[in-house]
Structure 1
Amino acid sequence: MPGPVFLEGDTVTLRPVEEEDIEFIQGVMNDPTVWRPALDINPMNDNLAAEFFEDVLTTEGDVHCLVCHDDDPVGHVSLSESQYGPTETSRARSAELGYWIAPEHHGQGYGSDAAALIVEYAFTDRNLRRLSAHVGDFNDASIALLESLGFEHEGTQREAAWYQGEYYDTLWYGLLRSEWQNTE
């Protein structure tokens, strides 16, 4: 059973990731329809899953939530410190949005609801000023989700992603709080 409700949306709840959720996370992260688009090519065994829980999912500076529908886990959403490190991120009040939904739950709006919840939380509760996200240009569903939330395409890293035997561009998206406030 997932942890207590942290945020509640129209179709999902966001809950803290608990140790008993590792099996679900490990199972989904080993699914090729998840790890390939996420460009995370290494398999995750029990030891790596435990390390991932300790080193990534329970860090103090980042926010990681299990996405649940009717108390059943369906995905994961996060706000992570930027690649520039905690000092620069703190000064800029920015974070990177990440998310995935288990393949059997795609197309039901869970990712959109979860991402919208965490974006609102980022701006209204954490007082962030800017969010970023990056996605392979082959991932039309993720691009559509980001654009539906008001994210703007800010740049392209040409042929920066290797996906199923071919190079693809990585697209960088950004959303400022002032832009988000104007979409509400």
Structure 2
Amino acid sequence: MPGPVFLEGETVTLRPIERDDMEFVQRAMNDPAVWRPSLSIKPMNDELAAEFFEEVLTTEGDVHCLVCHDDEPVGHVSLSESRYGPTETARARSAELAYWIVPEHQGLGYGSDAAGRMVEYAFTDRNLRRVSAYPGSFNEGSIALLESLGFEHEGTQREAAWYRGEYHDALCYGLLRSEWRADG
């Protein structure tokens, strides 16, 4: 069973990822419906899962949470240092939002609830000024989720993502605290 509740949404809870959750994370990250859209193309065995837990999921500056519905893990959401590095992230008070929901739970609003709650946490609890996200142009579901939360399309890196045998644009979405609405 997942660890204690860190943040609570309307339909999901966000919980710190524990070592015991790595079986779920590993299984999900080996699912093509998760790894292909996230552009993570390597399979994850037990050794890589342990390394991922130590070097990514438990870093001090980032927030990684298991998305749970009725105590069942359904996905992952994170708030990480921006692409510009820790010094620039702290100075600009910005972070990068990322998320995935396992295929059997997609389309139920869990991703929107989890991402929305993480954005609220970013602005109200961490006092961030900006949150960014970087979906591929092929990922219509993720783009719709971001736009439903008020994110604006800020830029395009043309043909910067390789997905399913073709080059696609990598998009940059951003949301400023001054544009965010707490009521969704």
Aligned: 1:144 with 2:139: no
Q: How does 1:1-184 map to 2 (within 5 A)?
A: 1-181=1-181
- What TM-score do the two structures reach when normalised by structure 1? 0.98
The runs of 5 or more residues in structure 2 that have no matched partner are none
Q: Distance in 2 between matches of 1:135 and 1:9?
A: 23
SS of 1:136's partner is coil
Give the conservation status (yes or no) of the 8 Å contact 1:150–1:183: no
Give the conservation status (yes or no) of the 8 Å contact 2:135–2:142: yes
Q: Distance in 1 between matches of 2:106 and 2:163?
A: 20
Cα offsets for 1:15-45 (capped at 9, x unmatched): 0000000000000000001100100000100
- In structure 2, what residue type is equivalent to 1:137? S
- In structure 1, what residue type is equivalent to 2:9? G
- In structure 1, what residue type is equivalent to 2:35? W
Give the conservation status (yes or no) of the 8 Å contact 1:67–1:76: yes
Q: Distance in 1 between matches of 2:56 and 2:75?
A: 16
Aligned-pair identity in percent equals: 79
Structure 1 runs (4+) greater than 2 angstroms displaced:
181-184
SS of 1:43's partner is coil
Q: Distance in 2 between matches of 1:182 and 1:79?
A: 17
Cα offsets for 1:57-77 (capped at 9, x unmatched): 000000000000000000000
Cα shift at 1:181? 3.6
SS of 1:42's partner is coil
Give the conservation status (yes or no) of the 8 Å contact 2:153–2:171: yes
Q: Distance in 2 between matches of 1:12 and 1:148?
A: 18
- What TM-score do the two structures reach when normalised by structure 2? 0.98
Give the conservation status (yes or no) of the 8 Å contact 2:120–2:182: no
- In structure 1, what residue type is equivalent to 2:137? D
Count of residue correspondences: 184
Q: Distance in 1 between matches of 2:2 and 2:177?
A: 30
